[in-house]
Chains A and B, each alone.
Chain A
Amino acid sequence: MGNLIWHEYSRLVSITASVCRCALLYTKNDHSRAITDAIWASFFGLFYRKFFWDFVGGTLRDPGGIQPSPNAEFFITIIVKIPLVQILSNILAASILAIELPLPQVKQFSLYRSIVGRIVLLLFQVFLTILFYQGTNAAIWSLIAVICYGRSLMLGETMQEAKDNRGKAGMA
């Protein structure tokens, strides 16, 4: 029956996933107040640094928790010692948000209308957020957004070019 415009739906999921943890709230005025998940997760991932996959080959110590196996040394460096992954995913999530909400300055770029571009960014986000402890939900939701965008690509949906207020009074 009704036709779902998939990329518009995907946008909502993507915003949710990017903002990070929870849900997006829309007020009556259709004004978005989003509480983001990837941003939020990667933000407090800075304080509680943990490699999600450290249980692979790790040993449980009391106290101290899981000590990751030496093979995971590389990930420990970029997640626990220097929170590089968290910082990167935070920046990435912020940029996805800037495209999705969108930030007025972003509207002029072709990336704003590119569904493929979004899929690539979201896949990066999946890849980054899956690495650290807080990011799993963000990763799953980003993946859902990717799937929905993929569906919109298959259906051949396109995004309209933003209208710059043409035909304002007094312009002619």
Chain B
Amino acid sequence: MGESWFRREFMVPRRLAFNVLFYGAHLSLFIYGWYSQATNQRLAGLNSLKYSVWTSRGAGLVLAFDGGLILLPMLRNIIRIIRPKLTWAFPADENIWFHRQVAYSLAFWAMVHTTAHYVNFINVERTQIRKQTALQIHYTQPGGITGHFMLLIMVLMYSTAHQKIRQQCFEAFWYTHHLAFFFMLGLYTHATGCFVRDTVDPDYIPTFPFYSTEHCLGYLSWRFIIWPGIIYFGERVWREIRARRATRLSKVLVHPSGAMELRIIKPSFKYTAGQWLFIQIPELSRFQWHPFTITSAPEDPYVSIHIRQVGDFTRGLGDRLGVGPSDKMSGMSRGDYVELDPAGSSIALPSVRIDGPYGAPAEDVFGAEVAILIGAGIGVTPFASILKHIWYRQKKGKLGSLRRVEFFWVCRDAPSFGWFQSLLQEVEAAQADRELHVLAANFLRINVYLTQKISEDMLWNIAVNDAGAEYDPLTLLRSRTMFGRPDWMTIFGQMKQAIEGGQYLPGSTSQLKTKVATYFCGPGALAKAIKDATVSHTNSNVEFTFAKEHF
């Protein structure tokens, strides 16, 4: 791995801050929970159980905290709204990572809490400070029942959420994770049995919350942590309502590589470039929502997504539209496409529902003077929308402070992304038109890197076809394809020199700080290399920023 655990967790300032805050908060809550139980005179009876009860109360308070936190990163709509304002404070795009950290912590403290309670109950039985047996507390009282129930749900949820299982069968993960609803019910009602009390019997009352806070002296944490649950539930309802709004699949374009372009019309759907959505096709699957990147620009009259036929869902869709792997079309050359029009074709288009949009960092391209967009492999998809959007803005002359765009596409084999090439061609052709205008010259530069090993035959083929041709033989773009992996340090270094020398942005004075925003979408190892390059080339004149997208 190269980098030690210690370096990763403690030597990176942001990670260090997170670790201190996150684990510090957990530890201090544990200590507070322990202390306030141990020093509470009214709970002297319970305190005769000593360490086990102090531990269980402390861990219980921590668990309540985690139970409140775990839903926060899942409030997708709220994150989308607050994201642009808060990117400096926390990485809103790392929400799944945060969700996992909370889950790990939840598992650990659940172990502490449960173990402590096992000891508590056996000692209650032995000392008879309450006239009960351990098993009565475990299996007949609300605390015990909900606790064991939550543990079982956790086993099922955690095990199906394992990376391997998610890849094998996403449905198993997706459906099992909805047990969270019952988990949350268990969490909020865990204390209704009034285990922590200063009376002999629980002091139940007929009105909500059905136990009296006079004598039930728990931390009442559900009053605080129920809110994320309510908000999350509201979000899910809202998403359902939004998904039901009028949506129509107007057109399907089939590209030669089998990629389908779905053009959907939904007037109520507002989005910005680089965002993604969930799509549901009830005919194929009643409940499943699948995420796809939006490939149309906000200016387009439709919402389009490109779907490659790779998984069972996408292949199923291909078969449904009559363009699946079984009925392969032949005789199409690159750049062509077949249009499935409901009017002319015998196949009726299925109904679709879309939910979204959800955020991605590339929304804020127009704040920087230079934008570097780097897509690796399939990670290139969000840039389709962004490039189109930039093109529309360029036509209108509303580019904000954006002066130049460098687009890098790193991929193993370009031909499998035929649909993207056709899109790039459009954008590039549009650039060629505008080259008449001095200002727009060199506005967008496309760099394609092919990293796959090429055979000798292919090498000669390229050499023969490339020389003197107007278009690159592989990508059919004006820009030439480069072979091998890009050396980011050199690329960024050259760019810095060019900017400082004033050649890169003609007319910009070197006193002003130039902001260069880098957006990357692709695998983690590459992200790190690029990030290092941006960090090492930032100085007082040129500021490189870096943002990574997630799927």
Chain A contacts to B: CB under 8 angstroms: 1-5, 8-9, 12-13, 16-17, 21-26, 29-30, 35, 40, 44, 48, 50, 52, 55, 60-66, 133-134, 137, 140-141, 144
Count of chain B residues with a beta carbon within 8 Å of a chain A beta carbon = 42
Q: Is A55 a contact of B111 with CB atoms below 8 Å?
A: no
Chain B 333-347 interface residues, beta-carbon cutoff 8 Å to A: none
Q: With A8-B168, A9-B165 in contact, do A25 and B131 touch (Cβ < 8 Å)?
A: no
Question: Which B residues form the contact surface with A (CB < 8 A)?
Answer: 1, 104, 107-108, 110-111, 114-115, 118-119, 122, 125-128, 131, 133-135, 148, 151-152, 154-156, 158-160, 162-165, 168-172, 285, 288, 312-313, 316
With A8-B168, A12-B165 known as contacts, the answer to whether A29 contacts B1 (CB < 8 A) is: yes
The CA of A48 and the CA of B107, in the complex, are separated in Å by 23
With contacts A22-B111, A64-B128, A137-B148 taken as known, whether A2 is within 8 angstroms of B119 at the C-beta atoms is no
Q: Chain B interface secondary structure, helix, strand, loop or mixed?
A: helix
Pick the 7 closest A-B CB pairs, nearest first.
Answer: A2-B169, A4-B169, A65-B125, A23-B107, A12-B159, A62-B128, A22-B111
- Residues in A with CB closer than 8 Å to B159 are 9, 12-13, 16, 23-24
* A5 CB, nearest partner CB in chain B, Å: 5
B133 touches A141 (CB 8 A): no
Chain A hits for B108, CB < 8 A: 22, 25, 35
A135 to chain B, nearest CB (A): 10
Which residues of B lie under 8 Å from residue A16 when comparing CB positions?
Answer: 155, 158-159
Chain A positions within 8 Å of B164 at CB level: 8, 30
* Residue from the set A1, A52, A60, A141 with the largest chain B CB neighbour count within 10 Å: A1
Check B172–A22 contact: CB distance below 8 A: no
Given contacts A21-B111, A23-B158, A35-B108, contact A133 B152 (CB under 8 A): no
CB atoms of A1 and B285 under 8 A apart:
yes
Q: Is the CB of B172 within 8 A of A2?
A: yes
Bound CA–CA A110/B252 (angstroms)? 52
A17 to B152, CA, bound (A): 10
Q: Bound state CA distance, A4 and B169, in angstroms?
A: 5
Return chain B residues, CB-CB under 8 Å to A48.
118-119, 122
Once bound together, how far apart are the Cα atoms of A8 and B167, in whole Å? Answer: 12
Please measure, in the bound complex, the distance between the C-alpha atom of A9 and the C-alpha atom of B167, giving whole angstroms.
12
CB closest chain-B residue, reference A44: B115
Question: B288 contacts A1, CB within 8 Å?
Answer: yes
Query: In the bound complex, what is the Cα–Cα distance between A137 and B159 (angstroms)?
Result: 15
B160 lies within 8 A of A9 (CB): yes
Residues of A close to B119: CB separation below 8 A: 44, 48
Which chain A residue has the least Cβ–Cβ distance from B164?
A8
A50 to B151, CA, bound (A): 21
Question: If the complex has contacts A60-B133, A63-B128, are A22 and B107 also in contact, measured as CB distance less than 8 A?
Answer: yes
Interface of A (DSSP majority class): mixed
In the complex the two chains form, is A22's CB within 8 Å of B285's CB?
Answer: no
How many angstroms from the CA of A12 to the CA of B173 in the assembled complex? 13
**Complex contacts, B162 vs chain A, CB 8 Å:** 12, 24, 26
The interface residues of chain B lying within 8 Å CB-to-CB of A61 are 128
Residues of A within 8 A of B285 (CB): 1
Distance (Å) between the CB of A130 and the closest chain B CB?
13
Q: How far is the CB of A38 from chain B (nearest CB, A)?
A: 13
Q: Give 27 CB contacts A-B under 8 Å.
A: A1-B288, A2-B171, A4-B169, A4-B172, A8-B168, A21-B115, A22-B111, A23-B155, A25-B108, A25-B158, A26-B163, A44-B115, A44-B119, A50-B122, A55-B133, A55-B135, A60-B133, A61-B128, A63-B127, A64-B126, A65-B134, A66-B133, A133-B122, A133-B134, A137-B148, A137-B151, A144-B155
Return A67 CB to nearest CB of chain B, in Å.
Answer: 11
Q: Which chain B residues lie closer than 8 Å to A25 at the CB level?
A: 104, 107-108, 158
A50 to B155, CA, bound (A): 25
Q: Complex formed: what's the CA distance from A164 to B156 in Å?
A: 33
Which residues from chain A contact B115 at a C-beta distance below 8 Å? 21, 40, 44
Nearest chain A residue, comparing its CB with the CB of B174: A2
> Are A1 and B312 in contact, CB atoms less than 8 angstroms apart?
yes
**Closest chain B residue to A62, Cβ basis:** B128
Residue pair B288, A63 in contact (C-beta under 8 Å): no
